[in-house]
Structure 1
Amino acid sequence: MKRRLREWPTAAVRLAGAVGTALVAAVLLLTQLVGLVLAPLFGVGLPVVAGALGATRALADVHRAVAGQVLGADLAVAYRTDPGPTWRELAACLRDPQTGRDMIWLALHAVAGTLVAAFASVLVEVLSGVFAGGVGPFAIFTLPALVVLAIAWWTVPWIVRALALLVRALLSPAGSALATRVEQLTESRAATVDAQAAELRRIERDLHDGAQARLAALGMTLGLAAQALRSDPDRAAALLEEARADAGRAQGELRDLVRGIHPPVLADRGLPGGLEAAALLCPVPVDVAIDLPARPQAPVESALYFAAAEALANAGRHARATRAWLRAAFAGGRITVVVGDDGQGGADPRRGTGLRGIERRLAAFDGTVSVRSPPGGPTEITMELPCDLCAPSSPRTTSSSATG
């Protein structure tokens, strides 16, 4: 009894909120349907539908949070795409199974909210009649009033729970998050395998065309020098000098190859030094701000370094930017690196191999990449990677401006 006394006001507030958002749900559903009908006729329909879909997801997030509190479990769902004001983005968003479930929930939530509002109005009418025909303040203790209060006492928490179950069934169906996660990991694993195979082929090609060919020529030159050593010492000396030069070039090519696998700057100066070096190579000025309390593991350093270097290279080559910025910080067990520029914008991972390569590289470490690049700019690429920082390292905070 005491527990119900504590929980009933909260349940009543939640039910009132659900009734209040029922009208919002009806408006959003109607807006989406009208926008879809008008989209082929008028271009304005596309941004209307995209805005309604975004608002629907925001409303669904609120109800997932409230339902999770009611049911005592976290309710989450992963949307596969984000709504956008183009046919391609809209079609991808509509193909998302969760979008269909969201629209069904909008309809059911609007109907359920209307029914609850009608039920509440009936109870209020009954109580009003009791007070109107009662005997002053003691009218609340009459049998009809007590019956109405008992109905409200018992039904409100159950209605709230029923609405929460509806939210869980449609907005966070069992297995949807797990299935989405499994699909993401499967795609990530396949992309990682392809990337590793491509990297191995690149290393093999570089070795075959570069250092291996150089070493083969070196062996032939040394053989000729050995043959000419007694009969023509001067020629032998020239051949040995040529062999020495070939050995130096082979060493340089091997050094460049190793640098492409794990840059020496990372081993010497860690991720902050590597990011600063990448910023110096960018053709446009780069503002750098790094706040990392310790070093991450070497594979994480390498992945973030190459991802940031690729993002900066894209800013210098394609964005027509006059300045760029790089931010790196650690919080909540994740390293976040943000690369932005003031260029022309319009960056789309689906239209360029550079951003897809960054996604594949970080996906191998369960990392994520989000791109915000409206037409006209600015562009910001946010890369997040979960990691545990290595303890034996001194804190490193950097704030500087690098120019290319």
Structure 2
Amino acid sequence: MSSEDKRGRAREVLLAAVRGLVLAMTVLPFGIVFLVLVPLSLAFIPLGVGLVTTPTVLTGVRALADVRRRLAGEWCGVRIRAAYRPVPRGANPWTRTFTMLGDPQTWRDVRWLPVDVTAGFVTALLPAVLLFYPVEGLMLPFGLWLPYTQGGTYWYAFVPVDGELSAIGAGVLALVLLGAALRYTPALLTGHFRLTRAVLDNAQGELAERVRVLTETRRDAVDTSAAELRRIERDLHDGAQARLVAMGMDLGTIEMLVERDPAQARRLLAQARRNSAEALEELRDLVRGIHPPVLAERGLGDAVRALALRLPLPTEVGVDLPGRAEAPVESAAYFAVSELLTNAAKHSGADRIWIDVHHTDGRLRITVTDNGRGGATVGAGSGLAGVERRLGTFDGVLAVSSPAGGPTLVTVEIPCALS
């Protein structure tokens, strides 16, 4: 092993020991606090107070578990899955409380608390003990045994230290322990997170939640398609079809007047030409609403730029796409951006909009920012709920940050690969 590899291994061992020590120092206080708060809050539910406190306490337990899941993945590559049932937005305390209490993942989190403050504390502390305890043993032969013994016997592990010779024996044991620490300390920290995974991991729940989400998004997609077909039928019936019928009637009248009243026939021909132009324009708008030609021909970037050009507000567009996504994904992203821009232009009171489109880590990410008054929320009649449902069909997500006074930042993410 090269010197660089040795230094890298030493850093890895030291980092694992420090991380384990930090975990051990936080496990006990947070775990004990929630171990006390959870049963107390549940006990007060019949009195009504628990309906207010229980969602907050359980949200805190969930946050603690989420931190441990994240650290498990970042520090040791241990994936701990979770599948929480969504709590309805704006739900009353009764609904929030019993939705969370009816979630199996919530009870996994609660059962994890006593495990974490006992076995979890020990397994988190063990890497630090295994690395730092030998440091004391290595110092014993250099005179540290004198203040430790003070005329008696000091036990270093199973070695009784009462003189220089026994102190050297303790130092040899410390070297052995240090060798074990260099070899096993990172594995011990990984063992702590595997213990956490054994209690918290919810593979079946994740699969069930995935099935539930797919069922809902499929139903939404079917409903959206049906609504879109009805819209197309209505637009054709009330728009282009009506104009074409009128144009046919005008042409019949022209046929009768062309010899008797040429002037009137010419006026009707001009009107028929206008009707045909308007019908053609309506058909183009209808086609553009189904799948814009610019999107099919030039891709999402240019299609978004075309949307920005039609806005009455100054709009900056940044696009960084090295390829094209599949057509359904591009279409979903395009109409999501179209809805977001329409909302911003109509409701935000902004005087400038920024759009950023890029692809990173296997996800298409689009952000639409405006400097308006803020206050946008999903489900507030702004069309954002429809965007969220459309994205859900592709496992996409919608995130809205819109504090009062602005600015509003809406982020759309869709997992996809580019060609």
Query: TM-score higher than 0.5 here?
Result: yes
SS at match of 1:175: helix
Which of 102, 111, 134 is the matching residue for 1:104? 111
Residue 322 (structure 2) pairs with residue 315 (structure 1): no
- Post-superposition Cα deviations, 1:326-365, rounded to whole Å, max 9, x if no partner, equal 1111222322101122333332223335112112222233
Which of 8, 13, 24 is the matching residue for 1:19? 24
Residues 18 and 113 in structure 1, CA contact (< 8 A), matched pair in contact too: no
Residue 266 (structure 2) pairs with residue 237 (structure 1): yes
Residue 104 (structure 2) pairs with residue 75 (structure 1): no
Match of 1:292 in 2: 321
How far the C-alpha of 1:181 sits from its partner, in A, is: 1.9
Distance 1:8 1:297, change over 3 A: closer
Match of 2:166 in 1: 138
Match of 1:168 in 2: 197
What is the letter of the counterpart of residue 303 of structure 2?
G
Match of 1:402 in 2: none
How far the C-alpha of 1:201 sits from its partner, in A, is: 0.7
- Post-superposition Cα deviations, 1:158-188, rounded to whole Å, max 9, x if no partner, equal 9867754542233222322222222222211
CA distance in 1, matches of 2:125, 2:265: 104
Residues 369 and 383 in structure 1, CA contact (< 8 A), matched pair in contact too: yes
- Post-superposition Cα deviations, 1:201-246, rounded to whole Å, max 9, x if no partner, equal 1001100111111112222222222233444444333333332222
CA distance in 2, matches of 1:61, 1:14: 14
Match of 1:339 in 2: 368
CA distance in 1, matches of 2:246, 2:123: 86
Residues 35 and 113 in structure 2, CA contact (< 8 A), matched pair in contact too: no
Superposed CA RMSD? 4.5
Which of 62, 72, 76 is the matching residue for 2:71? 62
Residues 50 and 85 in structure 1, CA contact (< 8 A), matched pair in contact too: no
What is the letter of the counterpart of residue 66 of structure 2?
R
Residues 72 and 80 in structure 2, CA contact (< 8 A), matched pair in contact too: no
Match of 2:150 in 1: none
Q: Answer with 360-369 or 14-23: which moved more.
A: 14-23
Structure (1 or 2) with the larger CA radius of gyration: 2
Equivalent positions of 1:134-213 (< 5 A) are 134-136=162-164, 138=166, 163-213=192-242
Distance 1:82 1:335, change over 3 A: farther
Q: Answer with 205-214 or 13-22: which moved more.
A: 13-22
CA distance in 1, matches of 2:342, 2:111: 45
SS at match of 2:354: strand
Q: Answer with 170-179 or 86-95: which moved more.
A: 86-95
Residue 255 (structure 2) pairs with residue 226 (structure 1): yes
Residue 278 (structure 2) pairs with residue 249 (structure 1): yes
Distance 1:266 1:159, change over 3 A: closer
CA distance in 1, matches of 2:263, 2:314: 53
CA distance in 1, matches of 2:87, 2:29: 21
Residues 220 and 389 in structure 2, CA contact (< 8 A), matched pair in contact too: yes
Report the TM-score, using the length of structure 2 for normalisation. Answer: 0.71
Match of 2:402 in 1: 373
Q: Answer with 257-266 or 159-168: which moved more.
A: 159-168
Residues 130 and 140 in structure 1, CA contact (< 8 A), matched pair in contact too: no
Which consecutive residues of structure 1, in runs of 5 or more, have no partner in the other structure?
A: 391-404
How far the C-alpha of 1:286 sits from its partner, in A, is: 2.9
SS at match of 2:357: strand
Match of 2:418 in 1: 389
Which consecutive residues of structure 2, in runs of 5 or more, have no partner in the other structure?
A: 1-8, 134-152
Distance 1:252 1:180, change over 3 A: same
SS at match of 1:371: strand
CA distance in 2, matches of 1:156, 1:291: 43
SS at match of 2:399: strand
Identity %: 42
Q: Answer with 129-138 or 41-50: which moved more.
A: 41-50
Report the TM-score, using the length of structure 1 for normalisation. Answer: 0.73
CA distance in 2, matches of 1:126, 1:216: 106
SS at match of 1:101: helix
Residues 64 and 167 in structure 1, CA contact (< 8 A), matched pair in contact too: no
CA distance in 2, matches of 1:109, 1:329: 41
CA distance in 2, matches of 1:174, 1:46: 24
What is the letter of the counterpart of residue 75 of structure 1?
I
